[in-house]
């Protein structure tokens, strides 16, 4: 394949900016044009619900340093939204009418927070969290807040609850599940997170939802739940998940999958020649799982962006990595590798859930479908090997912490 002369990337997050950097780091010498609707230099999102929100960090982790883009001849168009992609003409159009031809195009437009379609959702004091500006506004609000209500008991809701407690606010988290994080971790491991937050003074309102928000003079003062009860609030965070930003791709005529993402094959290619997608928006046909997968995690954005860069230059390699994510809440740190169904996979634990120092493995027959280490850091490579290869291991070996057993066979 002839080397493309001009590569255009839409989306200045980790997937998009990481892809631009990878192109140069591989020695690509053609033009690289990167559009980001956000006015800030490309940054990573994890710190926005952790160190930056708490106030321990003043800046997010930047994808690359201040001078990297100019030094590597990457044209950054920040604060510039791409409004149209013309697949036939191999052209993208930006919000001010500029037309930009491409030989290869990478779509990496990420996600946007879901809203709640209830009365009062537009009152002042109600926040969502996706961008650096969102995080700075929420941090300022937490610093002054007396009563914070967080809607959503997933990762971002849980991390934000920890940050709000560090600011000294009274915090209530409302979740539809009966245990936080239950859909990912199951009830037993989810309870570890529930108890951790309860010990830190967080109030849980689980198995319920929001009926509406009430306010005074345009600002939120309370959250009415579907069970009829009312929670007082001067700051509310809606953290009920994110939806992939696929408007551009859909309007261009690219196919969307049932999971809402843009359909790509194992190589991260769409059905349109020379157009790729990576990160939160990509619904990839994953060779390991033999089905479509759309993953909203930091590592997926980083690795898929870099992988797509290679394939745009002709690598022709399938993306095979299993999902991986991490979280930090108070003094609990964890990593999760793989993809389990906690409803049907068998949970086997090494260590102590009560002491919050353990490795949880979800097993299907004698294989580990996913593994999560909590405040235990020495088994990462062995757990990755078990998840990646499906090497056989017994429940007893897992309980004894013999995670390298799978490598022997």
Point out which residues bind ligand FAD (CB under 6 A). 10-16, 35-38, 45-46, 48-49, 81-82, 108-111, 129-130, 156, 245, 248, 279-280, 296-299, 301, 325-327
- What is the number of other CB atoms lying within 10 angstroms of the CB of residue 139? 17
Structure tokens given for 341: 């169904």
Which residue's CB is nearer to ligand FAD, number 334 or number 398? 334
Nearest Cα residue to 175 out of 143, 206, 219 = 206
What's the min distance (Å) between Cβ of 282 and ligand FAD? 8
Nearest Cα residue to 144 out of 168, 174, 120 = 168
Which residue's CB is nearer to ligand FAD, number 9 or number 174? 9
CA 252/CA 267 separation, integer angstroms: 20
What's the min distance (Å) between Cβ of 369 and ligand FAD? 18
Which residue's CB is nearer to ligand FAD, number 86 or number 146? 86
Which residue's CB is nearer to ligand FAD, number 160 or number 202? 160
What's the min distance (Å) between Cβ of 106 and ligand FAD? 10
What's the min distance (Å) between Cβ of 179 and ligand FAD? 20
Nearest Cα residue to 173 out of 85, 238, 112 = 238
Structure tokens given for 337: 């590798």
CA 160/CA 166 separation, integer angstroms: 10
Q: Where are the alpha helices (DSSP H) in 50-125?
A: 51-54, 68-71
> H-helix or E-strand containing 263?
strand 262-264
What's the min distance (Å) between Cβ of 278 and ligand FAD? 7
Structure tokens given for 50: 């952790």
Which residue's CB is nearer to ligand FAD, number 191 or number 301? 301
Q: Where are the alpha helices (DSSP H) in 132-216?
A: 132-144, 155-166, 182-199
Which residue's CB is nearer to ligand FAD, number 78 or number 231? 78
CA 71/CA 137 separation, integer angstroms: 32
Q: What phi, psi does 395 have (nearest 5°)?
A: -60, -40
Which residue's CB is nearer to ligand FAD, number 52 or number 368? 52
What's the min distance (Å) between Cβ of 366 and ligand FAD? 28
What's the min distance (Å) between Cβ of 375 and ligand FAD? 16
Residues 6+ apart with CB under 8 A from 213: 118, 119, 120, 121, 123, 126, 220, 222, 223, 224, 236
């Amino acid at each position: 394949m002839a080397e493309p002369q001009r590569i255009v990337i839409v989306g200045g997050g980790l997937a998009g900016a990481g892809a631009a950097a990878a192109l140069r780091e591989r020695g690509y010498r053609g033009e690289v044009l990167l559009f980001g609707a956000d006015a800030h230099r490309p940054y990573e999102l994890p710190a926005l619900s952790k160190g930056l929100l708490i106030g321990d960090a003043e800046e997010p982790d930047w994808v690359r340093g201040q001078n990297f883009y100019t030094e590597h001849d990457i044209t950054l168009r920040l604060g510039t939204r791409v409004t149209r992609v013309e697949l036939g003409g191999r052209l993208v159009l930006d919000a001010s009418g500029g037309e930009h031809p491409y030989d290869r195009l990478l779509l990496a437009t990420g996600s946007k927070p879901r809203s709640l379609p209830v009365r009062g959702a537009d009152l002042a004091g109600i926040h969502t969290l996706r961008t650096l500006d969102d995080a700075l506004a929420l941090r300022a609000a937490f610093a002054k807040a007396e009563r914070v209500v967080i809607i959503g008991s997933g990762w971002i809701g849980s991390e934000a609850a920890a940050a709000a407690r560090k600011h000294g606010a009274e915090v209530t988290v409302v979740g539809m599940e009966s245990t936080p994080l239950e859909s990912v971790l199951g009830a037993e491991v989810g309870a570890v997170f529930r108890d951790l937050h309860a010990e830190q003074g967080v109030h849980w309102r689980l198995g319920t939802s929001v009926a509406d928000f009430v306010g005074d003079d345009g600002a939120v003062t309370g959250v009415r739940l579907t069970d009829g009860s009312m929670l007082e609030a001067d700051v509310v965070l809606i953290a009920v998940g994110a939806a992939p930003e696929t408007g551009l791709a859909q309007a261009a005529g690219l196919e969307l999958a049932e999971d809402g993402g843009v359909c790509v094959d194992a190589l991260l290619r769409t059905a349109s020649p020379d157009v790729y997608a990576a990160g939160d928006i990509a619904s990839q046909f994953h060779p390991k799982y033999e089905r479509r997968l759309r993953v909203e995690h930091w590592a997926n954005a980083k690795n898929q962006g870099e992988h797509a860069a290679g394939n745009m230059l002709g690598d022709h390699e399938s993306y095979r990595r299993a999902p991986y994510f991490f979280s930090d809440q108070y003094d609990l740190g964890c990593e999760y590798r793989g993809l389990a169904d906690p409803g049907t996979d068998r949970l086997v634990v090494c260590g102590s859930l009560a002491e919050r120092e353990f490795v949880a493995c979800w097993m299907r027959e004698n294989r580990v479908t996913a593994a999560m280490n909590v405040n235990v850091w020495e088994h990462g490579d062995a757990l990755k090997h078990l998840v990646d290869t499906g090497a056989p291991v017994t429940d007893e070996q897992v309980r004894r912490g013999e995670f390298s057993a799978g490598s022997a066979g």
